[in-house]
């Protein structure tokens, strides 16, 4: 039997929090104001049923203020550890200490696990040291960025592509060597460059537990897995499941940083979808994994006057106490870590309105956390995007606190869906959406690029399903169809789900192109859901959070089957990039505005209906037409949207002397006549004869004046 000599220890320092590597050893620091004792457990392997050493921290020598700390001499990266925290079990006071539970360090840079029992065994009062997830000491000093610099993307040219690390390459058709991993995504970077997007937005990469889903698929009897990852348990740790390395190689976090470096090398930004509104510990009967057993009353919001009950503004059991000084510090430390050490370029904040709630759960007029995030010197170059609502009914689209924040524009999604479906009383609303929603943002002094437009995202129907299903089909989630939104504003055009009817298929294809066209023609910042350019389907499932299977994985065989949609998406992105008039940094003025109101040659908007200068804002209107005037850096563009079932004739403005109108886009035409490949001079159009254009039913037509 080999006897391992215990590490020598000394008092250490209370900052920085977490496990910090130096040449002499590792400093450990943990905040727990109400704890009566803390033990640091050290392991030489993740699967050991017992620690190799237990270091009991003495409150006289190892505590400063509310911080417990120790320096372990000779320790290094790769060491595995966890905490036992002693204190009162008094839920009525907000305390839920349980020294039988091995707890993750909230600042752990790496997390490892043995098997799938971590979530189950973290329930109840029993000891769980053998199966608990454990923290990993990481050395961030050893990584070669190879001189690759961050890309400098002009915000006016940004096109965001929302994607899931595992889902993007997990399907056998992906053809990558390491499917479903950070490395697999690296192999697919050339596709992203070819598509023309500028910014990759990754669904959560924080550590989560794939096995914390209690449901089974009733059609197969198989246990379901957490796929999306919106239940974080380690804010500082890249998810273990996205690595190809074994745990011993995670000590330098090379997999994730390799991905960031290679995306940057290709000129692409990296934005993380971050979840600071709740954790995987759930409600009162949830597992004790970390925060609950360390300082429950600080990290979580309790119901006013009932600390034993969790406030649930996230909809999943608990709510982080984001504006408590300690939690604010953790969130800011975390953002700085990902921005500075991991070099990501921005963050999209899930249910961001929770960041504006105070310690009693009430919305604040001037919440400190959003302002501190946008003012932090280390975050000045990062993109900040708020999902400006929460599950508690707080809706802040158009008014999220702060100045620099961008917002997911849920109104763009809903209004465009309803208009193209044929709903009444939508023409005026969609006109505002196409201008970057000045009705929502201009009065707050924001610019169009802060409006993130989208038609689909991970949550809801894919674009292919939006035109194929009138209701959700979530039976495979095991929740009897109760989960997921009932308000998709979708249509199936005659058949629910797949069909061989060529007329229905042609109409669905046209509607997909219409959605993509409006998204990429609108002022603001467009976001495309990964796989929509391939008409990916989730078989009508609009809440595939637990579908780690072909429902959620991208089938790359669709690239050939729906080559016309992929081509249309690529060329629409290129068309947007080629026309500065589609992506102005200030809101457009009306055609009749005084000449002194904007810089010379700046684009203006001129509204029409089927007749020139006679826009139809009536309830019955299903049409929209407008001209973006010629400017110093762009030609005039004329956009026609016919959301009616039948063809309509639209008058076209007389071209300026020596110029002609050319048809650049027509979604009613089959590929390749729907949008042309640019020639050597960047031209893609055919000349328009006469002074009117016929727009087929449910189509978008764009003319360029040359």
Cα 704 from chain centre: 34
135-166 as b/e, with b when 16 or more CB fall inside 10 Å? bbbbbbeebeeeeeeebebeebebbbbbbbbb
Contact partners, residue 150, CB within 8 Å, separation at least 6: 264, 269, 343, 345, 381
- CA nearest 515: which of 449, 448, 419? 419
Mean pLDDT of all residues in 123-140? 94
pLDDT higher than threshold 70 for residue 13: yes
Residue 179 in any domain: the answer is no
Q: How far is CA 345 from CA 138, 148, 355, in A?
A: 22, 14, 20
Q: Which pLDDT does position 513 carry in this prediction?
A: 98
**How far, in Å, CA of 37 to CA of 423, rounded?**
63
Tokens of 460: 């809801």
Write out pLDDT tens, residues 638-665.
Answer: 999 999 999 999 999 999 999 999 999 9
The residues annotated as belonging to the active site are 350, 387
Write out pLDDT tens, residues 321-377.
Answer: 999 999 999 999 999 999 999 999 999 999 999 999 999 999 999 999 999 999 999
Structural domain boundaries enclosing 42:
8-136
Mean pLDDT of all residues in 256-281? 98
Mean pLDDT of all residues in 378-398? 96
Give the model's confidence band at 2: pLDDT under 50 very low, under 70 low, under 90 confident, else very high.
Answer: very low
Q: Which pLDDT does position 689 carry in this prediction?
A: 84
Mean pLDDT of all residues in 227-245? 94
Residue after which a domain boundary falls, among 136, 160, 178: 136
Q: Which residue has the higher pLDDT, 44 or 409?
A: 409
| Dihedral-angle region of residue 190 (phi above 0 means left; psi in -120 to 50 means alpha; beta otherwise) | alpha
Q: Which pLDDT does position 595 carry in this prediction?
A: 81
Residue 192 in any domain: the answer is no
User: Taking every pair of C-alpha atoms in the chain, what is the biggest distance, in angstroms?
Assistant: 94
E strands within 350-399?
A: 383-386
DSSP bridge pairs for 181: none
CB count, 10 Å around CB of 88?
Answer: 13
pLDDT higher than threshold 70 for residue 684: no
Mean pLDDT of the chain: 95
CATH number of the structural domain spanning residue 105: 2.60.40.10
Give the three-state DSSP class for 286: coil
- CA nearest 516: which of 502, 504, 534? 534
Q: What is the pTM of this model?
A: 0.97
Residue after which a domain boundary falls, among 93, 117, 136: 136
Q: Which pLDDT does position 605 carry in this prediction?
A: 97
Domains contained in the chain, number:
2
Confirm if 420 and 643 have CB atoms less than 8 A apart: yes
Residue 481 in any domain: the answer is no
Handedness of CA 67, 71, 72, 78 (dihedral sign): positive
Residue 510 in any domain: the answer is no
Tokens of 514: 């219409």
Residue 232 in any domain: the answer is no
- CA nearest 277: which of 305, 308, 310? 310
Q: Which pLDDT does position 247 carry in this prediction?
A: 66
Write out pLDDT tens, residues 38-70.
Answer: 999 999 888 888 999 999 999 999 999 999 999
Residue 93 in any domain: the answer is yes
CB count, 10 Å around CB of 1?
Answer: 2
CATH number of the structural domain spanning residue 675: 2.60.40.1180
Residue 49 in any domain: the answer is yes
pLDDT higher than threshold 50 for residue 1: no
State percent of the chain over pLDDT 90.
91
389-415 as b/e, with b when 16 or more CB fall inside 10 Å? bbbbebebbbebbbebbbbbbbbbbbb
The total number of residues written for the chain in this structure? 706
Write out pLDDT tens, residues 181-190.
Answer: 999 999 999 9
Q: Which pLDDT does position 601 carry in this prediction?
A: 82
Q: Which pLDDT does position 341 carry in this prediction?
A: 97
pLDDT higher than threshold 80 for residue 249: no
**How far, in Å, CA of 656 to CA of 653, rounded?**
9
Mean pLDDT of all residues in 186-202? 98
Mean pLDDT of all residues in 288-314? 96
Residue after which a domain boundary falls, among 89, 121, 136: 136
pLDDT higher than threshold 80 for residue 278: yes
**How far, in Å, CA of 683 to CA of 662, rounded?**
10
Write out pLDDT tens, residues 582-638.
Answer: 999 999 999 988 887 888 789 999 999 999 999 999 999 999 999 999 999 999 999
Residue 483 in any domain: the answer is no
Cis peptide bond prior to 42, omega within 30° of 0 = no
pLDDT higher than threshold 90 for residue 244: no
Mean pLDDT of all residues in 472-500? 96
Q: Which pLDDT does position 679 carry in this prediction?
A: 62
Q: Which pLDDT does position 682 carry in this prediction?
A: 46
Mean pLDDT of all residues in 232-257? 89
Write out pLDDT tens, residues 158-182.
Answer: 999 999 999 999 999 999 999 999 9
């Amino acid at each position: 039997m080999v006897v391992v000599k215990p590490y020598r220890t000394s008092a250490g320092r209370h900052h920085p929090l977490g496990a910090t590597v130096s040449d002499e050893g590792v400093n450990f620091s943990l905040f727990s104001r109400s704890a009566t004792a803390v033990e640091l457990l050290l392991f030489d392997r993740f699967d050991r049923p017992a620690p190799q050493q237990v270091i009991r921290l003495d409150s006289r020598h190892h505590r400063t203020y509310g911080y417990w700390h120790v320096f372990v001499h000779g320790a290094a990266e790769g060491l595995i550890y966890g905490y036992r925290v002693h204190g009162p079990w008094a839920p009525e006071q907000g305390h839920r200490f349980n020294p039988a539970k091995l707890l993750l360090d909230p600042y752990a840079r790496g997390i490892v696990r043995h098997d799938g029992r971590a979530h189950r065994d973290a329930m109840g009062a029993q000891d769980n040291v053998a199966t608990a997830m454990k923290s990993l000491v990481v050395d961030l000093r050893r990584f070669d960025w190879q001189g690759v610099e961050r890309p400098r993307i002009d915000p006016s040219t940004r096109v965001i592509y929302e994607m899931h690390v595992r889902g993007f390459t997990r399907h056998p058709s992906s053809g990558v060597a390491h499917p479903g991993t950070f490395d697999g995504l690296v192999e697919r970077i050339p596709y992203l460059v070819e598509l023309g997007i500028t910014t990759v937005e990754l669904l959560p990469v924080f550590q989560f537990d794939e096995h914390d889903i209690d449901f089974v698929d009733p059609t197969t009897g198989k246990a379901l897995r957490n796929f999306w990852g919106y239940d974080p348990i380690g804010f500082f740790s890249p998810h273990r499941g996205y690595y190809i390395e074994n745990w011993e190689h995670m000590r330098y976090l090379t997999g994730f940083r390799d991905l960031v470096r290679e995306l940057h090398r290709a000129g692409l930004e990296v934005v993380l979808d971050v979840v600071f509104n709740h954790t995987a510990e759930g409600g009162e009967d949830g597992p004790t994994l970390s925060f609950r057993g360390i300082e429950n009353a600080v990290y979580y919001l309790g119901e006013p006057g009932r600390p034993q009950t969790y406030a649930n503004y996230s909809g999943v059991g608990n709510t982080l106490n984001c504006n408590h000084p300690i939690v604010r510090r953790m969130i800011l430390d975390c953002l700085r870590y990902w921005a500075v050490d991991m070099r990501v370029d921005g963050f999209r904040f899930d249910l961001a309105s929770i960041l504006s709630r105070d310690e009693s759960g009430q919305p604040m007029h001037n919440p400190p956390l959003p302002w501190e995030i946008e003012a932090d010197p280390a975050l000045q170059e990062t993109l900040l995007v708020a999902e400006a609502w929460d599950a508690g009914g707080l809706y802040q689209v158009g008014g999220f606190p702060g100045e620099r924040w961008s917002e997911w524009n849920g109104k763009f999604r809903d209004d465009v869906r309803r208009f193209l479906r044929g709903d009444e009383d939508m023409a005026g609303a969609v006109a505002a959406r196409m201008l970057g929603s000045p009705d929502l943002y201009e009065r707050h002094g924001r610019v169009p690029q802060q409006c993130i437009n989208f038609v689909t995202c991970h949550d809801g129907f894919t674009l292919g399903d939006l035109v194929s299903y009138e209701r959700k089909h979530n039976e495979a989630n095991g929740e009897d169809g109760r989960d997921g939104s009932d308000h998709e504003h979708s249509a199936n055009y005659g058949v629910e789900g797949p069909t061989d009817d060529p007329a229905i298929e042609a109409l669905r294809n046209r509607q997909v192109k219409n959605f993509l066209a409006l998204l990429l023609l609108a002022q603001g910042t467009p976001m495309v859901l990964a796989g929509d350019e391939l008409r990916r389907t989730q078989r009508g499932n609009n809440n595939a959070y637990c579908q780690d299977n072909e429902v959620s994985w991208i089938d790359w065989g669709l690239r050939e089957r729906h080559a016309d949609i992929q081509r249309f998406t690529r060329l629409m992105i290129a068309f947007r990039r080629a026309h500065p008039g589609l992506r102005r940094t200030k809101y457009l003025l009306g055609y009749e505005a005084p000449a002194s109101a904007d810089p010379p040659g700046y684009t203006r908007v001129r509204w029409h209906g089927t007749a020139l200068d006679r826009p139809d804002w009536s309830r019955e209107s299903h049409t929209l037409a407008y001209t973006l005037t010629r400017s110093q850096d762009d030609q005039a563009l004329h956009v026609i949207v016919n959301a009616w079932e039948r063809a309509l004739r639209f008058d076209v403005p007389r071209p300026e002397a020596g110029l002609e109108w050319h048809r650049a886009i027509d979604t009613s035409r089959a590929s390749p006549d729907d949008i042309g490949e640019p020639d050597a001079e960047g031209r893609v159009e055919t000349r328009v004869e006469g002074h009117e254009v016929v727009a087929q039913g449910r189509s978008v037509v764009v003319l360029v004046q040359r």
